[in-house]
Amino acid sequence: MLPFSYNEDRLMLLPVDPGMAYAYWDYSAETWSLLEKSNRPLRLKLQTAGNEATYEVDRRTKNYFFRGLAGRTGYRLVISAMIDGEEKILQTSREIRMPANSPSENGEVLFARIPFMQPLPKSRKGLPRRRSLKGLPAGGIPTFAPASPTRYLAGYESALVGTSGTSTSLAWRHEDQKGGK
């Protein structure tokens, strides 16, 4: 059986999908004693650039699902309570960024050959330059079914498309992490 509290102040806000986030929290004994003074609900303030939505929940509640959120948007959660007549902030989460509502509309596919024993680049340096596929004849754009394993290379979505000898062929599609295409 799990304990009711792990006796530490902690707040986590996690994206579930593009329209939903999940928050869970816990308190130290000191924070619990402050909450016992108040018989009022907790205030959950979900903040984004210039906007704030407030939800009231029972003070014994330790998690909450937020629905109807916007994709590719940053959110932060602040938990507060009315204690001795004034609002006291108990915890603030780190900012999270919600995933995109849909896949990238950029359908450009790039190919590279990466030797098995060579470590993958940690930045975009060393990745091939982007080239247009406009010069290919009709039907000349390679197609593939994404296969396992799928890897992520510094903002590039990639799928294993073939192997031969000591190298692997990868195809990837760039998705701008800043919200643009």
Q: Are 81 and 58 in contact (CB under 8 A)?
A: no
Distance, in Å, from the CA atom of 27 to the CA atom of 62, rounded to the nearest integer, reads 9
* Shared domain check, 117 and 90: no
Average pLDDT of the residues in 33-49: 90
Distance, in Å, from the CA atom of 172 to the CA atom of 112, rounded to the nearest integer, reads 9
pLDDT tens by residue, 170-180: 444 444 444 44
pLDDT tens by residue, 66-77: 999 999 999 999
Tokens 């780190």 correspond to what residue? 94
Residue 78, in any domain of the structure: yes
* Shared domain check, 133 and 65: no
Q: Largest Cα–Cα distance in the chain?
A: 74
Give the predicted TM-score (pTM) of the model.
0.57
* Shared domain check, 79 and 14: yes
Residue 87, in any domain of the structure: yes
pLDDT value of residue 124? 58
* Shared domain check, 75 and 146: no
Distance, in Å, from the CA atom of 174 to the CA atom of 127, rounded to the nearest integer, reads 12
Look at residues 75, 97, 119 and tell me which one is the last residue of a structural domain: 97
Average pLDDT of the residues in 72-89: 93
Average pLDDT of the residues in 48-54: 92
Q: Which of 42, 37, 31 shows the shortest CA–CA distance to 80?
A: 42
Tokens of 151: 């890897």
Structural domain boundaries, residue 133: 110-174
* Shared domain check, 20 and 88: yes
* Phi/psi at 121 (5° precision): -65, 145
- Beta pairing class for 156-164 and 167-174: antiparallel
* Shared domain check, 119 and 164: yes
Between 7 and 58, the more confident residue is: 58
- What is the tally of structural domains in the chain? 2
Residue 1, in any domain of the structure: no
Residue 19, in any domain of the structure: yes
* Shared domain check, 52 and 21: yes
Average pLDDT of the residues in 3-13: 88
Q: Taking 90 as the threshold, does the pLDDT of residue 97 lie above it?
A: yes
Which positions ≥6 away from 108 have C-beta within 8 Å? Answer: 130, 132, 133, 173, 174
Tokens of 7: 């006796």
Q: Taking 70 as the threshold, does the pLDDT of residue 37 lie above it?
A: yes
CATH at 79: 2.60.40.10
